[in-house]
Amino acid sequence: MKERGGSIRLRLLLAALATIVPVLALSALGLTLLFERQAIRLATQDLETRAGALIAGFTSRAAPAPPAETAGGDPGYQKAYSGQYWQIGFGGRIWRSQSLWDQILAVPETPPAGAEVRILEAPGPDGQQLLILDRVILVGPGDAPVRITVATSLARFKEARGLFVRDVLPFMVALGLFLILASVVQVALGLRTFARIGRDIEALESGRRSRLGHDMPRELRPLATAVDRLMDERDRRIARARNRAADLAHTLKTPIQALLGVTAGLRARGEVGAADAVEEIAGAITGQLDRELGRARIGAEGTAALARVVARIVSVLRRTARGEEIAITVDVPEDLLARIDPQDLTEAVGSVAENAMRHARTRVWFRAVAEGARLRLEIRDDGPGVPADMIEALLLRGVRLDSGGTGLGLALAQDIMDAAGGELRLTNLNPGFAATLELPRG
């Protein structure tokens, strides 16, 4: 299956870019076309003014007469191929401005009808492209038709269009850069909500909050609802699993107790070896059940104040049989928070601390430090330590080096650390022994 990954930010920016560039190109084209239309409109008005100047040379009461060479009043009419031209026709003859030299304007043979004013583009002298105004007026008592045609070269308008495009392009580029920058800012602001969702999920993972809730934009609420439902279902499954484990353990303890009761009869009959074997097997099974019950309780989320947990454990240790013999030193900052359920942390630290108290000669130390996103709690004792080849074995279930206990404490602490994303390390100090619990900070 093809992965549907990639960057949302990149996709949104590419979509914005794919929209901005065509829109700016179309805008530049549209502005150029509007400029051309306005230029042609102004040129047409200029031609109408020039035609009016020529029409003024005729009166409605006199018969039409050949126009003067200076007709139109523009010196450009006297300069060959100047770009300004006029042409007048009546009585089967055509008069033209000196600027046309020996050519005539390319207009249709059929003149405009009545008061029609014809505007057209046509080729002119010297390869010029002309804008032409063509109309007919009636002159004299007999309403003799006079065809007046004026033209101007479009070259200057094309040049003006080129200058306009040259001026508008930097503006369009600047506008495009501004819009792209605005899109970057817009996307960044929009994705800030996703960053907040990420922080909320981290808080969910660390136990600082139990659910995402609906305090977020409407579009993201279905996602939050789905995550919360998933968390609800997970909690229900964990609760069912814990209940099943507890039920199974309690169910098995009854026949185990009955089995232990049989040992009394075995001893009474003198079968001490068999009784000891049964008791050893039953003890191993009981220890394993206790460990599994402990593991079933692991996994609840939350944040634990490390100093508070250590203080409670130290208070209990000082009331134990060795509490008056062992000096306990505590160096745990009050502001350290661990990302773990307080009950789980209490059980893990308590198991390690109990082990330290049992083997210490005169002193036990609790010392905690924070290192970035992690914290370390070191529990040291000045006891004899353990053989180097037995350190790893201590974390295995049921392994113990003394005759007391079940061998479950350090193994259970290891399980708790694993479930919380932490680590338990054991070290010989020569003399003494240290257990270090490393956890993510809350």
Mean pLDDT computed over 375-404: 71
Q: What's the maximum distance between 2 C-alpha atoms anywhere in the chain?
A: 160
Across 235-241, average pLDDT: 79
Per-residue pLDDT tens over the stretch 187-217: 888 888 888 887 877 777 666 677 887 777 7
Q: Answer yes or no: is pLDDT of 403 > 60.
A: no
Highest average pLDDT, of 12-16, 274-278, 412-416, comes from: 12-16
Distance between CA atoms of residues 206 and 32, nearest Å? 61
When comparing pLDDT for 399 and 304, which is higher?
A: 304
Q: What are the strands, taking DSSP E only, across 140-195?
A: 144-153
- CB within 8 A of 174, min separation 6: which ones? none
Residue 405 has pLDDT above 60, yes or no: no
Predicted confidence band at 401 (pLDDT cuts at 50, 70, 90)?
very low
Q: What is the pLDDT of residue 404?
A: 42
The mean of the pLDDT values for the chain is 83
**DSSP designation for 74:** -
Give the pLDDT band (50/70/90) at residue 349: very high
Give the DSSP per-residue string, 196-216: HHHHHHHHHHHTS-S---S-S
Sign of CA dihedral 390, 394, 396, 401: positive
* pLDDT over 70 at 355, yes or no: yes
pLDDT above 90 (res 328): yes
Which pTM was predicted? 0.53
**130 beta partners:** 122, 153
pLDDT beyond 80 at 246: no
Tokens of 306: 């490390």
User: Does the pLDDT value for residue 431 go beyond 60?
Assistant: yes
- Using CA atoms, how far residue 285 sits from 92, 271, 406, 409, in Å, is 130, 21, 11, 16
Burial class (CB in 10 A: 0-12, 13-18, 19+), 78: middle
Query: How confident is residue 18, by pLDDT bands cut at 50, 70 and 90?
Result: very high
